[in-house]
Amino acid sequence: MKDAKKRNIIIPENPVSKYLFSSVYAAWIWLIIRLYVGYAWLTAGWHKVQSDAWTGENAGSAVQGFIKGALAKAAEGKDVTGWYAGFLENTVLPHAKIFGFLVAYGELLVGLGLIVGLLTGIAAFFGAVMNASFLFAGTLSTNPILFILATWLVLAWKNAGWYGLDRWVLPLLGTPWYRESSQNKNHSENI
């Protein structure tokens, strides 16, 4: 009985999720999604980086306007929860200039990372964090769909950047990729 408790229980992955999240043959699906989400972030970030209200002489004024709109929604009891309104009012608003630069360049970097397929899972994660932040602030726009797609890209981090720089960068960082035939051999040796 003690031996049974010590053994690792392995739950095999179902064929659909194994194909979508672990197979290089599904990488073309993630390439399409990655390019769509990356283009959305890149263009949004590029417009903000070029805008005086985000990164120029009036840096922070766009963030201040956005925050004041979110706070007005919270005061009316619409779309913005109290705890997030408190965060916006006490943390973001006093540092609007810094957040203007963070948002503008963050969007640009997320877009670039997704388009070239570099650290795709990390780029998608930070894109999803920004989408969630915008949603918490009561802004819909394309945020729900971009959040969902970014979440899927995070789940597919192993193969989402296969047609991109991740194909070469991730193995250098220690990603354990191998051909299925060697996996089966290693698995049978471990049993």
pLDDT digits (tens, 9 = 90+) for 93-140: 999 999 999 999 999 999 999 999 999 999 999 999 999 999 999 999
Query: What's the pLDDT at 187?
Result: 46
Residues 50-64 have pLDDT tens digits of 999 999 999 999 999
Give me the phi and psi of 73, to 5 degrees please. -65, -40
d(CA 35, CA 173): 23
Does residue 13 fall inside a structural domain?
no
- Per the listing, tokens 């540092």 go with 95
Does residue 7 fall inside a structural domain?
no
Amino acid of residue 149: L
Instruction: Report yes or no: 20 and 156 within 8 Å, Cβ to Cβ.
Output: yes
Any idea what DSSP says for residue 95? G
| 51 SS3 class | coil
The rounded percent of the chain whose pLDDT value lies above 70 is: 91
Residues 69-103 have pLDDT tens digits of 999 999 999 999 999 999 999 999 999 999 999 99
* Residues 18, 21, 24, 25, CA torsion sign: positive
Does residue 2 fall inside a structural domain?
no
Q: Go through 44-83 and write b for each residue having 16 or more CB atoms within 10 A of its CB, e for each that does not.
A: bbeebbebebbbeeebbbbbbebbeebbebbeeeeebeee
Does residue 47 fall inside a structural domain?
yes
Query: What's the pLDDT at 81?
Result: 94
Residues 140-161 have pLDDT tens digits of 999 999 999 999 999 999 999 9
Does residue 176 fall inside a structural domain?
no
Average pLDDT over residues 180-189: 50
Does residue 146 fall inside a structural domain?
yes
Amino acid of residue 40: A
Does residue 52 fall inside a structural domain?
yes
| Domain assignment of residue 77, given as a range | 37-167
Number of domains in the chain: 1
Confidence at 191, pLDDT banded by 50, 70, 90? very low
Does residue 15 fall inside a structural domain?
no
Cβ contacts of 135 within 8 Å, gap of 6 or more: 143, 144, 147
Write down the mean pLDDT value for the chain. Answer: 91
Query: What's the pLDDT at 154?
Result: 97
